[in-house]
């Protein structure tokens, strides 16, 4: 069994919003076969606490447009590791140092990744 399309669509929308706020290393992991409580983990990181919170704001704003609100939110005041629980999708936005330390991708390495269909932004050549 794989994650339902509805959860994948939420993860993709959240990933796009995170990307728009310059999130780094955005990945989605299909945990539906391992966990009964959620389908997808979306993980993104940032260099500063302020940027972590900006990414979280961007994700919440985008998902709010789809009438989605987190059932739980943790870590917002610290800005180091913010967890947004949308039931089928759990979003982790971490400070880069915390992401390296906790290594969620390593913990869930047995689970398949999800193609987020994020467009790669071409590098600026400085000739524009």
Domain boundaries, the chain: 5-107
Residues 6+ apart with CB under 8 A from 107: none
What are 2-29's pLDDT values in tens digits? 899 999 999 999 999 999 999 999 999 9
Our CA angle for 102, 28, 73, nearest 5°, is 65
Q: What is the pTM (predicted TM-score) of this model? A: 0.90
Q: Please check whether the domain covering 5-107 is classified as CATH 3.30.460.10.
A: yes
CA atoms within 13 A on the CB side of 48: 5
Q: What is the pLDDT of residues 62-106, one digit of tens each?
A: 999 999 999 999 998 888 999 999 999 999 999 999 999 999 999
């Amino acid at each position: 069994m794989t994650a339902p399309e509805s959860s994948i669509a939420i993860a993709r929308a959240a990933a796009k919003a995170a990307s728009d706020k310059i999130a780094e290393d955005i990945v989605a992991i299909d945990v539906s076969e391992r966990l009964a409580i959620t389908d997808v983990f979306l993980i993104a990181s940032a260099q500063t606490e302020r940027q972590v919170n900006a990414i979280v704001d961007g994700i919440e704003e985008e998902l709010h447009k789809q009438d989605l609100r987190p059932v739980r939110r943790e870590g917002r005041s610290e800005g180091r590791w913010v967890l947004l629980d949308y039931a089928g999708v759990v979003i982790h936005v971490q400070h880069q140092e915390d992401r390296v330390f906790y290594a969620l991708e390593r913990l869930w390495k047995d689970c398949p990744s999800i193609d987020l269909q994020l467009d790669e932004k071409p590098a600026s050549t400085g000739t524009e």
